[in-house]
Amino acid sequence: MHSIDRKDGSPHDEACANIDSHGTANSSSPPGVIRPSPEEERASIVPLFLVPRAVADVIRRHGRAVREINVRRTRNHQYAINVERGRS
């Protein structure tokens, strides 16, 4: 029979293994590399009773620059708040 190369117990095909991936599956991105656009703020996850306060805080922080606020229910009665800002 024909032998199979193995790496850590798994079949390993050198021709297909991680072509130009530079270890992306084994490492994380450095902080700040993946970030939202300047007009969009990352979602904050809050419980239902804190949604009004979180929205008020965003409006207080950005004022008239706020273009859109999206509140979306996630799991376990948590809500994601996404803020899109226009030009300030």
| Boundaries of every domain in the chain | 8-85
For residues 38, 39, 45, 48, the Cα torsion angle rounded to the nearest 10 degrees is 160
Place of tokens 């902080």: 31
Distance between CA atoms of residues 64 and 79, nearest Å: 23
pLDDT value at residue 13: 59
Distance between CA atoms of residues 42 and 56, nearest Å: 16
Work out the pLDDT band at 47, boundaries 50, 70, 90: very high
pLDDT value at residue 32: 57
**What totals of helices (H) and strands (E) does the chain contain, helices first?**
1, 5
Pairing mode, if any, of strands 6-7 and 66-73? unpaired
pLDDT value at residue 40: 66
Does the pTM of the predicted model rise above 0.85? no
